[in-house]
Amino acid sequence: MIKLYLILFLSTALSADDRFKGCYKTIFSTQTYNVSWTTSEQCINECKTRYYRYAMVQNARSCYCGNYLGEEVNNTLSCDQICDGFCDNVTDVFATGNLVPGPPEEVKLTNVTDSSAHISWKPPKSYTKINGYVIKATVIHTYANYIPNSPEWSYLNDTFSTKIILLPATKYNVTLCALSPDGCGAPFSRVIETEVREPENPPESPNIIKRDGDRMEIELSETSNSNGPITSYLVIVFNDDSQQIFQEDSLKSYYEAKREGINYYITAELKPENIQRRFIVGDKNYYGKYYNAPLETNVHYSIIIGLVSTLNGKTKRAFSSLKHTDTDGTEEFIEVSGDSPAVIIGLSVAIGLLSFMFIAGIIGFIILKSRVTTRRQRLSENQELTLQGPMIEVENNGYIPEEEHTKVSYYRDLKQKVRTIPYNQLKVEPTNLLGIGRFGRVNSGSIYENSTLIPVAVYSIQDKKLSADDKKNMLRDLDVLIKTRKHDNVIALVGTCETSQMVFVVLEYVSMNLKDLLLGSRDSLPGKFSNMTENQALDIAINVAKGMSHLASNKIIHKQLCARNVMVANGFIPKISGYGLSQFYSHNNLPDYTRWTAMEVFKGQAHNLKSDVWSFGCLLWEICVLGGTPYGNFSNNEIPERIIKGLRLPQMQYFSDELYQFMLSCWQIDMDERPDFDVLLESLQTFQENSLIPCLSFNLYPNFQYEQFYPDMEIAVRPVF
Ligand SMILES: *[C@@H]1O[C@H](CO)[C@@H](O)[C@H](O)[C@H]1NC(C)=O
Ligand SMILES: *[C@@H]1O[C@H](CO)[C@@H](O)[C@H](O)[C@H]1NC(C)=O
Ligand SMILES: *[C@@H]1O[C@H](CO)[C@@H](O)[C@H](O)[C@H]1NC(C)=O
Ligand SMILES: *[C@@H]1O[C@H](CO)[C@@H](O)[C@H](O)[C@H]1NC(C)=O
Ligand SMILES: *[C@@H]1O[C@H](CO)[C@@H](O)[C@H](O)[C@H]1NC(C)=O
Ligand SMILES: *[C@@H]1O[C@H](CO)[C@@H](O)[C@H](O)[C@H]1NC(C)=O
């Protein structure tokens, strides 16, 4: 009884009366559903399942569903209550409770490969506003031996197809929803499974335990594979004395190989669970459908192990490298073919066996070559970052001291740390050029993030057209940005986007630079010579120091720190820019850094973290004098010699002695005596907290003069790029 009451209560909780919105003029633009209905509730439910916001009942005869209210009908008596058919051409409108769009229509998930799937769709039937679309691929099952991410992609509302990049042999629940201001709409969902890919690691060569007449005892080891299941292992006998080349495609059983004159064959197929550690080649049993034929005595054999990975009718295989053995089973020499194509190491070469080595070399070369080719193909399919052209080994460089060892796979690893922005999600404004960098133009643009468009700076690089040297430099500069990692006071690398021709490097966009902000703050409020407060100026210095400390902790040397290279986002938040790929300037605005350069650099030493501290001292001075030109009374060519002879920036009447001493410490000749950025940051914070003795004062005094700003002295005469 109680239960019944409860149900009754629940079902009446949101009755038609509660949902009644009022009387409206009927709109016939929306779709009409002439459903067989008896109550308003039924009409409401019909419209709700169709993802409409409103159910409209006209003249107690027809039920319409729609997303927009028409013109409200006022002052008619009948609208004081539900019309129930007594008013002509007026509908009673009910809210269905649904706010979000329906599922996208005509969704097609096609061309599912080992690395991607294509998805296309049409807008949902019912919506009021669509900001964009969100695709999510939730991993349901994978063979990967790590926990993979379930990726998510967002698109603008004019995108109706895309290619999503996925892991191989992985089952995903792919969902697609239309994003509205009220949240994500009803999702379309489908489960797909990507194809198996060639095994990640080739199996290890077996250990030959002993060779005994027509038998050979070998030891096998298991292999791991993230690219698909391990279906079985093949044991392949290879006749070393025949001068044949091992070709995966001509692998046969013993009898077939014999008939066709092929001197290698599959002698056993072992299920992974049956992989006993020891296996006897030539024991005359059948393994799978293969006869394990006895070996011929006095013939040299090698054993190759094949890994078979089959999923949904597709099979991929990988093979161990050749390992030659003598008739008695002792290993003569080993040719290692590591996963890295570049590494081939010959070991223990016996002089009498040079011919052996020659054959092995050819075989190894062929195996490697096919591997490299398939790898290349795979990479270009995935459009991996900067791997479109030949792989470039990146060497140690001046930016990053004590660089960790750079490997060939380095950029592949790095790429995982960079957000990949789908091309159709990136809008470049071709007419709004922000500047020119060494490798291309930088335009303003926008990307879609968390259902809002955010402005970005887009560096367009014609990757294919770069010379090898430029490409190397470009990678290095990109690498510097990637290594920087996110920090509030450093311009962020948002991500990269690639097409077959171009690499787009997407950076955080801030339009104001510190130099302009400082010069713009020169203003005479009553009793003041700046509209910026001393505290704001110190805040900027402190936050630049935080950003520099972050760069230093990532072992990045900036080399060009000055106010022009610091951008200022809303609320006086400085963001360091002008290093790595974040260097770009308008044509007639190429900075000359002479006035910020450390003494040792003039003497020919390389830049280091302490030369950045020197530049920071100059920048601090620049902030305190509101954008004045350092050493404004000397020309650019005089500066190096004067600095070496002891010239330093002067103390102003409005700096405290402590603040000036602190600046001087940044310009010590002995680099060890200059503070590092952490110490520097602490000192600046102490200055700021000490309100008793202000270190800086923008109070006007008699005969005050701004430090001169000479644009020509800060701009390079010859083009830098
Ligand atoms: C809906 O059905 C009712 C009665 O069955 C009919 O009078 C009305 O004309 C129909 N409306 C439409 C738009 O088909
Ligand atoms: C309907 O009534 C509302 C307030 O009750 C009023 O603001 C609005 O102007 C009226 N509209 C018409 C068409 O009379
Ligand atoms: C109701 O709508 C019909 C068709 O749109 C029209 O012919 C009729 O005159 C309208 N009646 C009133 C009272 O407005
Ligand atoms: C899907 O694959 C087929 C055949 O491989 C190709 O013709 C077609 O263009 C592909 N479709 C898309 C959308 O990539
Ligand atoms: C798509 O987005 C734009 C910009 O936000 C908006 O003006 C337009 O109405 C949207 N389109 C749809 C179908 O919602
Ligand atoms: C896939 O995701 C949708 C939406 O979240 C969910 O309704 C559906 O049950 C999921 N399917 C599977 C097989 O997990």
Q: What is the pLDDT of residues 314-338, one digit of tens each?
A: 999 999 877 655 544 444 433 333 3
Residue nearest atom 10 of ligand 6, based on CA coordinates: 173
Q: Which residues of 679-702 are buried (b: 16+ CB within 10 A; e: fewer)?
A: ebbebbeebbeeeeebbbebeeee
Residue nearest (by alpha carbon) to ligand 4 atom 9: 111
- Do both 432 and 387 map to the same domain? yes
pLDDT tier for residue 16 given thresholds of 50, 70 and 90: low
Which residue among 458, 481, 509 closes a domain? 509
> Measured at the alpha carbon of residue 609, what is the angle toward residues 603 and 611, in degrees to the nearest 5?
35
182 lines ligand 3 (CB under 6 A): no
- Is the separation of the CB atoms in 164 and 116 below 8 Å? yes
Expressed in angstroms and rounded, the spacing between residue 124 Cα and the centre of ligand 5 is 14
- Domain membership of residue 527 (yes or no) is yes
- Of 323 and 216, the structure prediction assigns the larger pLDDT to 216
pLDDT band at 382 (very low <50, low <70, confident <90, very high): very low
How many other C-beta atoms lie within 10 A of the C-beta of residue 596? 26
Q: Is 129 in the pocket of ligand 5 (CB under 6 A)?
A: yes
Q: Does 345 fall in a domain?
A: no
Residues 33, 36, 39: CA angle, nearest 5 degrees: 100
| Rounded Cα distance, 212 and 216, in Å | 6
- 322 class by beta-carbon count within 10 Å (0-12 exposed, 13-18 middle, 19+ buried): buried
Tell me what pLDDT residue 5 has. 38
If asked whether residues 181 and 255 sit together in one domain, one would say no
280 touches 217 (CB < 8 A): yes
Q: What is the four-CA torsion angle of 32, 34, 39, 40, rounded to 10 degrees?
A: 0
- Domain end: 32, 67, 95, which one? 95
User: What pTM value is reported for the model?
Assistant: 0.49
> For residue 488, how many C-alpha atoms fall within 13 Å in the half-sphere facing its CB?
9
Amino acid identity, position 330? T
CA distance 564 to 584: 11
pLDDT given for residue 327 in this prediction? 46
Count of domains for the chain: 5
Domain holding 447, by residue range, is: 364-509
| 577 and 702 share one domain | yes
Q: Is residue 357 part of a domain?
A: no
Of 632, 647, 623, the closest CA to residue 712 belongs to 632
Of 68-72, 206-210, 565-569, 607-611, the least confident: 68-72
Confidence at residue 102, expressed as pLDDT on a 0 to 100 scale: 93
Whether ligand 1 lies within 6 angstroms of the CB of 32 is answered as yes
Q: What is the pLDDT of residue 190?
A: 96
Tokens of 206: 């077996």
The single-letter code of the amino acid at 423 is Y
Q: Is residue 339 part of a domain?
A: no
On average, the pLDDT of the chain sits at 80
88 pocket-lining for ligand 3 (C-beta < 6 Å)? yes
Q: Which of residues 424 and 8 earns the better pLDDT score?
A: 424
Query: What residues pair up with 346 in beta bridges, in sequence order?
Result: 335
C-alpha 182 – ligand 5 centre gap (Å): 14
486 part of a folded domain: yes
83 and 171 housed in the same domain = no
For ligand 5, atom 4: residue with the closest CA: 131
d(CA 217, CA 334): 18
For ligand 3, the distance from its centroid to the CA atom of residue 90, given in whole angstroms, is: 10
**Judgement on whether residues 487 and 440 belong to the same structural domain of the protein:** yes
Give the span between the Cα atoms of 458 and 166, in whole angstroms: 26
How many A from CA of 310 to the centre of ligand 6? Answer: 26
Q: With beta carbons less than 8 A apart as the criterion, state whether 185 and 102 touch.
A: yes
Mutate to test the pocket of ligand 6, among 175, 184, 188, 193 (most ligand atoms within 8 A of CB): 175
Residue 157 in contact with ligand 5 by CB distance below 6 A: yes
Does the pLDDT value for residue 377 go beyond 60?
no
Q: Give the number of C-alpha atoms closer than 13 A to the C-alpha of residue 481, restricted to the C-beta side.
A: 27
- What are the pLDDT digits (tens) for 459-486? 999 888 888 888 888 888 888 898 888 9
Pocket test for ligand 5, best of 105, 126, 130, 425 (most atoms within 8 A of CB): 130
Segment 400-419 shows an average pLDDT of 52
* Whether 166 contacts 116, CB under 8 Å: yes
Task: For residues 417 and 535, state if they share a domain.
Answer: no
Distances (CA, A) of 433 to 259, 290, 441, 622, 716: 70, 67, 7, 28, 20
Are 505 and 523 in the same domain? no
pLDDT score of 384 more than 60: no
Nearest Cα to Cα of residue 303 among 162, 406, 209, 196 = 209
138 and 34 co-located in one domain: no
- Out of 95, 127, 151, pick the residue that ends a domain: 95
CATH number of the domain where residue 434 is located: 3.30.200.20
Average pLDDT over residues 403-407: 38
Q: Is the CB of 74 under 6 A from ligand 2?
A: yes
Tell me the best of 154, 157, 180, 449 to mutate to test the pocket of ligand 5, counting ligand atoms within 8 Å of each CB and taking the most: 157
Inside any domain, residue 330? no
- Amino acid residing at 13: A
The verdict on 295 and 271 lying in the same domain is: yes
**112 and 163: one domain?**
yes
Looking at the fold, whether 403 and 433 belong to one and the same domain comes out as yes
Q: Which of 79, 83, 51 is nearest to 67 (CA)?
A: 51
Taking the C-alpha atoms of residue 401 and residue 85, their distance in angstroms, rounded to an integer, is 83
The CATH number given to whatever domain includes residue 277 is 2.60.40.10
Does the residue 174 lie in any domain?
Answer: yes
pLDDT of residue 423: 81
Residue-level pLDDT at 147: 77
Position 332 in a domain: no
Residues 569 and 681 in one domain: yes
Assign residue 639 the CATH number of its domain: 1.10.510.10
Cα distances from 543 to residues 260, 575, 600, in angstroms, run 76, 8, 26
CA dihedral over 108, 111, 114, 117, signed as positive or negative: negative
Mutate to test the pocket of ligand 2, among 74, 79, 80, 90 (most ligand atoms within 8 A of CB): 74
Residue of the nearest CA to atom 6 in ligand 2? 74
